[in-house]
């Protein structure tokens, strides 16, 4: 029953998104559908976590084509193990909170905001639950298409430029991914995850073909040296979307890298040296870039690059320790990054700028935002009792056990630089004298108001509703002058920060789950049996 519902985790958000495209009013119904669907997926993911405890794998063959007995069956397999379930839970939670934030911040005045976010969620569910390489490609496209629209629709004055870069880059990466799928099919003769298990160890041709897949997924995950697009696109969209994309896009690519690397290569340690070197470079270059930036979201975006290095370092180390640490880091980072983007986004959209030097003294005026930010920042740096401490400790432990001392040193040093750039936001934005009062129109960024007016008039003549942005839009409650960040805008970030604190205090509980997820990746026999044996 629960297994039969696997494809619906992707189908229901997709259908609801389509419904919202045509359902224009009432607003409360649209919001209820969006929040309800995200909650439903979250609930289903929770159920999956319960069911997959103890290493069970659920699988459902969609469109099962019965052949004569004894012959292999033909189907589109969906499967869920602990890793998929955890990933689905954290992405659904982030979607729920980001979409709630978007409703408060005014993103959903754009008719396409909610349907596109639901379709994005559908793509994410599909990617984490599929057990078929070509389906993985299709669902990655399903996930990317709405984000192309969202990227060009919401955000500051440079959002069209950012949208172009984003679409071009991701299409290129998708082309490489598709070619990679073709190569794998050509040499292995199958795209079924179960049949591909261990194929990279047996045949060099499959290893090389899957290498193309790894490169394409690495491009989507923003691994150094292909990380430049991330910091050129994410800061230009709206804060709700920055948070959403940070948790969904790169993290889902990381999920796919974990899944495929573990399945196809089976932890072959010939790749250990290269992988560790690339990931350490990613960690170092990302954080050095972040220290030099001067807007809140550019700092956070470049941090993402650095954190991606951390997460994939766990995979590079492989083994039960490394994988459990990496998956723990992945979950922790999704939560914390969302909290940081939403907390700084609340400041940005209330005070009208994201440049750190134009802001000041926000902590005294907005203690709740300051708490949400500082909690998440400490978690990102790795200071107890927040979640980052456990995540970094596990990773450090794993790299020392694997005798990768260089990586261990990098983990500690990069943390110091992380702290440095977090202090840069903290001391400029939250500390010191108050430099700026809240704007009367939440949601606008005065920083780019000149270019924004230009582009929106130019666009109003073009394809109206899709790309038009309301510089003149008024929020429901914008009539009253705003003196503080509205409480509803803080709550999503606060929930995530408290969750990070909870993960930090109860690290043992999550660690047990990530260890189960890791053992499912190392010993793929249960997964293979579940997928093939239907």
Interface residues with other proteins (CB under 8 A) are 134, 137-138, 141, 145, 148-149, 152, 158, 160-161, 163-164, 167-168, 171-172, 175-176, 178-179, 181-183, 185-186, 191, 454-455, 458-459, 462-463, 466-467
Nearer Cβ to other proteins, position 168 or 204?
168
**Radius of gyration for the alpha carbons in the chain, expressed in angstroms and rounded:** 22
Minimal distance, residue 179 CB to other proteins, in Å: 5
Structure-block tokens of residue 223: 């691994």
Q: Do 303 and 286 touch, CB atoms closer than 8 A? A: yes
Nearer Cβ to other proteins, position 45 or 160?
160
Nearer Cβ to other proteins, position 60 or 469?
469
Minimal distance, residue 9 CB to other proteins, in Å: 20
Nearer Cβ to other proteins, position 138 or 522?
138
Minimal distance, residue 182 CB to other proteins, in Å: 4
Among 300, 342, 289, 163, smallest CA distance to 236 is for 163
Q: Do 528 and 194 touch, CB atoms closer than 8 A? A: yes
Minimal distance, residue 168 CB to other proteins, in Å: 5
Residue with tokens 């003196």: 483
Among 335, 284, 288, smallest CA distance to 310 is for 284
Nearer Cβ to other proteins, position 143 or 243?
143
Minimal distance, residue 21 CB to other proteins, in Å: 15
Residues 6+ away with beta carbon under 8 Å from 127: 136, 139, 140, 143, 252, 255, 256
Does an H or E element contain 508, and which?
helix 507-522
Minimal distance, residue 175 CB to other proteins, in Å: 4
Minimal distance, residue 271 CB to other proteins, in Å: 24
Minimal distance, residue 178 CB to other proteins, in Å: 4
Structure-block tokens of residue 517: 């997820």
Minimal distance, residue 91 CB to other proteins, in Å: 22
Minimal distance, residue 245 CB to other proteins, in Å: 17
Say how far apart CA 92 and CA 146 lie, in whole Å. Answer: 16
Q: How far is CA 300 from CA 62, 218, 295, 422, 491, in A?
A: 40, 20, 9, 9, 20
Nearer Cβ to other proteins, position 19 or 145?
145
Point out which residues pair with 77 in neighbouring strands: 61
Nearer Cβ to other proteins, position 147 or 404?
147
Structure-block tokens of residue 465: 């509703």
Say how far apart CA 299 and CA 279 lie, in whole Å. Answer: 19
Q: Do 128 and 255 touch, CB atoms closer than 8 A? A: yes
Minimal distance, residue 161 CB to other proteins, in Å: 6
Q: Do 338 and 98 touch, CB atoms closer than 8 A? A: yes
Among 230, 268, 503, 497, smallest CA distance to 392 is for 503
Say how far apart CA 127 and CA 6 lie, in whole Å. Answer: 12
Nearer Cβ to other proteins, position 6 or 162?
162
Does an H or E element contain 60, and which?
strand 58-65
Nearer Cβ to other proteins, position 437 or 454?
454
Minimal distance, residue 142 CB to other proteins, in Å: 9
Minimal distance, residue 7 CB to other proteins, in Å: 16
Nearer Cβ to other proteins, position 167 or 240?
167
Nearer Cβ to other proteins, position 165 or 488?
165
Say how far apart CA 70 and CA 474 lie, in whole Å. Answer: 65
Nearer Cβ to other proteins, position 153 or 243?
153
Q: Do 136 and 127 touch, CB atoms closer than 8 A? A: yes
Minimal distance, residue 329 CB to other proteins, in Å: 32
Say how far apart CA 330 and CA 391 lie, in whole Å. Answer: 9
Looking at 352-444, list the stretches that DSSP marks H as alpha helix, in order from N- to C-terminal side. 362-365, 367-381, 387-401, 405-425
Say how far apart CA 157 and CA 225 lie, in whole Å. Answer: 27
Nearer Cβ to other proteins, position 249 or 332?
249
Nearer Cβ to other proteins, position 401 or 446?
446
Say how far apart CA 174 and CA 181 lie, in whole Å. Answer: 10
Say how far apart CA 177 and CA 299 lie, in whole Å. Answer: 29
Phi, psi (5° rounding) for residue 58?
-95, 140
């Amino acid at each position: 029953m629960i297994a039969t519902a696997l494809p619906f985790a992707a189908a229901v958000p997709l259908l609801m998104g389509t419904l919202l495209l045509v359902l224009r009013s009432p607003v409360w119904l649209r919001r209820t559908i969006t929040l309800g669907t995200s909650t439903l997926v979250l609930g289903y993911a929770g159920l999956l976590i319960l069911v997959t405890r103890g290493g069970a794998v659920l699988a459902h063959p969609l469109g099962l084509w019965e052949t004569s007995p004894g012959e292999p069956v033909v189907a589109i397999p969906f499967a869920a193990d602990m890793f998929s379930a955890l990933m689905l839970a954290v992405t659904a939670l982030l979607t729920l909170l980001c979409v709630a934030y978007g409703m408060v911040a005014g993103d959903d005045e754009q008719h396409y905001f909610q349907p596109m976010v639901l379709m994005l969620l559908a793509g994410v569910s599909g990617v984490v639950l599929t057990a078929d390489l070509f389906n993985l490609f299709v669902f990655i496209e399903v996930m990317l298409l709405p984000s192309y629209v969202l990227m060009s629709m919401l955000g500051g004055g440079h959002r069209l430029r950012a949208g172009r870069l984003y679409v071009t880059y991701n299409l290129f990466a998708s082309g490489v991914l598709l070619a990679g799928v073709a190569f794998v099919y050509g040499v292995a003769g199958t795209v079924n995850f179960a049949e591909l298990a261990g194929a990279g160890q047996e045949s060099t041709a499959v290893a090389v073909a899957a290498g193309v897949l790894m490169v394409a997924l690495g491009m989507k995950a923003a691994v150094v040296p292909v990380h430049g697009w991330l910091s050129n696109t994410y800061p230009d969209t709206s804060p709700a979307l920055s948070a959403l994309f940070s948790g969904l896009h790169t993290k889902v690519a990381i999920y796919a890298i974990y899944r495929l690397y573990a399945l196809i290569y089976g932890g072959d340690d010939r790749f250990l040296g290269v992988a560790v070197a690339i990931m350490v470079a990613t960690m170092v270059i990302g954080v050095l870039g972040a220290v030099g930036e001067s807007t809140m979201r550019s700092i956070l975006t470049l941090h993402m690059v650095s954190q991606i290095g951390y997460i994939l370092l766990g995979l590079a180390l492989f083994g039960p320790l490394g994988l459990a640490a990496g998956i723990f880091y992945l979950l922790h980072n999704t939560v914390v990054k969302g909290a940081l983007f939403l907390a700084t986004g609340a400041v940005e959209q209330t005070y009208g700028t994201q440049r750190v030097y134009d802001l000041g003294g926000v902590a005294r005026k907005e203690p709740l935002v300051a708490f949400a930010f500082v909690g998440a920042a400490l978690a990102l740096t790795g200071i107890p009792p927040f979640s980052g401490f456990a995540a970094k400790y596990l990773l450090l432990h794993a790299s020392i056990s694997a005798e990768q001392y260089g990586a261990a040193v990098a983990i500690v040093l990069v943390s110091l630089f992380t702290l440095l750039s977090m202090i840069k936001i903290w001391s400029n934005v939250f500390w010191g004298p108050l430099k700026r009062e809240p704007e009367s129109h939440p949601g606008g960024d005065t920083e780019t108001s000149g270019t924004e007016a230009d582009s929106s008039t130019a666009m109003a003549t073009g394809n109206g509703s899709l790309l038009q942005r309301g510089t003149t839009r008024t929020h429901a409650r914008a009539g009253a002058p705003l003196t503080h960040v509205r409480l509803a805008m803080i709550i999503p970030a606060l929930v995530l920060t408290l969750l990070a604190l909870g993960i930090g205090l109860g690290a043992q509980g999550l660690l047990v789950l990530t260890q189960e997820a890791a053992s499912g990746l190392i010993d793929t026999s249960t997964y293979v049996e579940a997928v093939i044996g239907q």
